[in-house]
Amino acid sequence: MTDDQEPGSPRLSRRGLLGLAGAGVVGAGLGFGVDRVFTPEASAASGAAASYPFFGEHQSGIITAAQDRLHFAAFDVSDITAAELEELLSDWTYAANRMTTGLGAGQYGPASGPYDAPPDDTGEALDLPPSGLTITFGFGPTLFDDRFGLAGRRPEALIDLPHFPGDALVPALTGGDLCIQACSDDPQVAVHAIRNLSRIAFGRASLRWSQLGFGRTSSTTRAQATPRNLFGFKDGTANLRAEDSDTAADVWARASDGARWMAGGSYLVARKIRMTIETWDRSSLREQERVVGRTKGEGAPLSGGTEFTAPDFDATGRQDAPLIDEAAHVRLAHPDTNGGAKMLRRGYNFVDGNDDLGRLNAGLFFICFQRDPREQFVPIQLRLAKNDAMNEYLRHVGSGIFAVPPGAKTGGSIGDGLFG
């Protein structure tokens, strides 16, 4: 191959190229050869060579088997026009599709010239396979203000999240007009994606906040073992799984829900939850298991059984005390006690160094997807925020909600529905 660009397929816009180049010279569009050897045909592979299609009915990175690593980014859109926003989303689509197949972000790649222009890919993923990369885009509530004429397009389900009891949100870690979730089994591939998309956005949108996650805390398919969070407990045992028959109804928005353009999309809620792990680590095993409502080793409900045994919230022990505490996390979060409400959780563990007191700045970067946050995240989180015994060991410091549009059609843009 000397040029991987198909005739008639989209190219990066002139503004997108300027983002790469600053005020520099931009190449004349000559083919300079492909830099990376993985092609969309590798999509069926597994392991490091795994790749997921970018185009399709739904965006990848939602019911996709949760990858091991995360780089999440929220952006503020600059003072640009609606047409320029539309072009940005088109440029992002172009680059995201390429990167999920293992190609560089732009046509020339990081190392193939033109020599007097900046490379159109930064290069740190040059020798790396797709590693299961998914890139998932979302639109925050503020995108629907009066700047871009989109107020009438705002989905009703894209609410402003209410204040939850105990919230200690830091504005610099909260909100955003746009978000990108990049997940991969190789962190360098996820970082490469966010870096190159940020670069393409130069002058049009800038990073507001971002988060690396090193370990997944949920499984989203039956084949995946349940991972552990930084409390040391299994997390997501009762999570929705891609194979489950009712998952689609809980995850995907429908045309009849209100915003027709969101049909096949979903709503993402992100919460940066700092764990006070030093306090947790000094609590007894009995207290830890009481708070969670499950055993620490096996992850079985305290009402008995093994990890996947349904919790029996009515079971009692000595002196008729419930085996699963009234304030246990598993009780308050469970669908059985929330009118059946479920979300697809897809969170990650994080450690951001340590604070001035020598405590690790660590916790859970919670991400969930759902059909309607008003029926799912919000009522569940309100209940947890009021009563969960775990609150003593948590602090919510960041938050975001985003409408995640359906997948783009081949050759289309992730913004097509929004502006359609």
Chain length of the chain: 420
Considering only the stretches 38-46, 90-98, 141-149, 285-293, report the one whose residues sit in contact with a copy of itself under the rule CB under 8 A. Answer: 285-293
Q: What is the C-alpha to C-alpha distance for residues 289 and 233, in angstroms, rounded to an integer?
A: 9
Q: Does 131 bind a copy of itself (CB under 8 A)?
A: no
Q: Which of the residues 40 through 69 are near a copy of itself (CB under 8 A)?
A: 69
Structure tokens at 411: 């050759």
Closest approach, Cβ 340 to a copy of itself, in A, equals 30
Q: Which residues contact 77 (CB under 8 A, 6 or more apart)?
A: 85, 88, 143, 147, 148, 177, 178, 204, 205
Q: Which of the residues 245 through 284 are near a copy of itself (CB under 8 A)?
A: 277-278, 281-284
Closer to a copy of itself by CB, 126 or 263: give it.
126
Judge whether 296 and 232 are in contact, CB under 8 Å: yes
Q: Which of the residues 365 through 404 are near a copy of itself (CB under 8 A)?
A: none
Q: Does 3 bind a copy of itself (CB under 8 A)?
A: no
Q: Which of the residues 316 through 375 are near a copy of itself (CB under 8 A)?
A: 349, 351-354, 356-360, 362
Closest approach, Cβ 214 to a copy of itself, in A, equals 4
Closest approach, Cβ 75 to a copy of itself, in A, equals 8
The pairing of strands 215-216 and 348-354 is antiparallel
**Residue of 394, 119, 343 whose CA lies nearest to 229:** 394
Contact residue for a copy of itself among 13, 39, 142, 198 (CB under 8 A): 198
Closest approach, Cβ 346 to a copy of itself, in A, equals 17
Judge whether 137 and 91 are in contact, CB under 8 Å: no
Closer to a copy of itself by CB, 34 or 341: give it.
34
269: which strand partners? 368, 401
Q: Which of the residues 106 through 125 are near a copy of itself (CB under 8 A)?
A: 110-119, 121-125
Contact residue for a copy of itself among 237, 239, 288, 399 (CB under 8 A): 288
Q: Does 407 bind a copy of itself (CB under 8 A)?
A: no
Judge whether 183 and 194 are in contact, CB under 8 Å: no
Amino acid, res. 339: G
Q: Does 15 bind a copy of itself (CB under 8 A)?
A: no
Closer to a copy of itself by CB, 49 or 362: give it.
362
Q: Does 218 bind a copy of itself (CB under 8 A)?
A: no
Q: What is the C-alpha to C-alpha distance for residues 187 and 192, in angstroms, rounded to an integer?
A: 8
H helix runs in 215-343, sequence order: 247-251, 277-281, 285-292, 329-333
Closest approach, Cβ 55 to a copy of itself, in A, equals 27
Q: Which of the residues 148 through 177 are near a copy of itself (CB under 8 A)?
A: 172
Positive/negative CA dihedral, 244, 131, 209, 397: positive
Considering only the stretches 90-98, 133-141, 144-152, 200-208, report the one whose residues sit in contact with a copy of itself under the rule CB under 8 A. Answer: 200-208
Closest approach, Cβ 111 to a copy of itself, in A, equals 3
Task: Kindly list the distances between the CA atom of residue 382 and the CA atoms of 197, 364, 368, in Å, as whole numbers in the listed order.
Answer: 35, 18, 15
Q: Which of the residues 229 through 248 are near a copy of itself (CB under 8 A)?
A: 229-233
How many other C-beta atoms lie within 10 A of the C-beta of residue 69? 22
Amino acid, res. 395: R
Closest approach, Cβ 249 to a copy of itself, in A, equals 31
Look up residue 316 and give its DSSP letter: B
Closer to a copy of itself by CB, 35 or 250: give it.
35
Judge whether 201 and 152 are in contact, CB under 8 Å: no
Closest approach, Cβ 81 to a copy of itself, in A, equals 20
